[in-house]
Amino acid sequence: MKLTILGCHSATPRDNARPTAQVLELRGHLFLIDCGEGTQMALRKNRIKFARIKHIFISHLHGDHVYGLIGLISTFCLLGRESDLTIYGPKGIKELILLQLRLAKVYTSFDLRFRESVENKETLLYEDDQLAIHTIPLDHRVFTQGFLFQEKPGDRKLDVAACESYGIDQAYYRKIKQGFNFVLDNGEVIPNVELTTDGDEPKSYAFCSDTVYKEDIVPQIQGVTALYHESTFLKSHAHLCDKTKHSTAEEAATIALKANVGTLILGHYSSRYGDYNLFKEEAQTVFKNSELALDGKVFQF
């Protein structure tokens, strides 16, 4: 699982501070999460192939999370894209994009699909045989949802020595790795646990931006490999959270602690701060394994 931060700042873009966008690489997929201004330039800078992006997830319709989307779609058209593109987001995302395309008389050369969320509740957005993606209900000034990306358990690991001791032909190895028991010629059943060991732990990633402190998301994100949680303010400005519906670094760390996540990634910093290390220091007083999102930074799990 690989996460590339394209942008991690709040409000307006600046020379060295792009608004929210990131790419998650998981099980052969390349998922774009949010698409603030300058996202396509950040994609080029990080050498991420446009054609591999087939699913885009938009958390909410504030500009610093979506204003780069129409530009990216227009570029897809100019490049002669042919593969389907699906956009997941709150109700209104389809109207927003199609209106801009219509007024600009831009016609897509590919099938552009939308999956809009209407109710702010956990919803399955995407599923295949390797992973599932659900929404995470958040609390912001407009309808906002996070996203939970979860690998499904993979095959078990084959104990070749154990299989050979029973004289099992290699033709049966795949079935055994899939969890099946093996029956010997004499009818004896060899339990799968005697022929395999546990496979790799499935990885998971939770994206939570923007939101006020919301403890009821903890059960849904319990034990995720990595959590991105907005930390717009330091606790010295906690009084601004109720008005703006944002969180502090300390609050993000509290969610990470309660959910027992592997790694907390902080982001969505307010421009009032010049030293982002203050966010990390504040979070680490609550949750030690806290890291800073930075434009262009790559996390591997």
Which residues are part of the catalytic machinery? Answer: 64
Radius of gyration of the chain (CA): 22
Q: 264: helix, coil or strand? A: strand
Residue 204: count of CB within 10 angstroms of its CB: 23
Q: Which tokens in the block code for residue 122?
A: 């956990």
Q: Which residues contact 192 (CB under 8 A, 6 or more apart)?
A: 156, 176, 179, 180, 181, 182
Strand ranges, E, within 42-159: 53-57, 85-90, 112-117, 124-127, 131-137, 145-151, 157-158
Start-to-end C-alpha separation, the chain: 5
The set of long-range contacts for 235-241, using a CB threshold of 8 Å and a minimum separation of 24, is 235/282, 237/270, 237/272, 241/212, 241/213
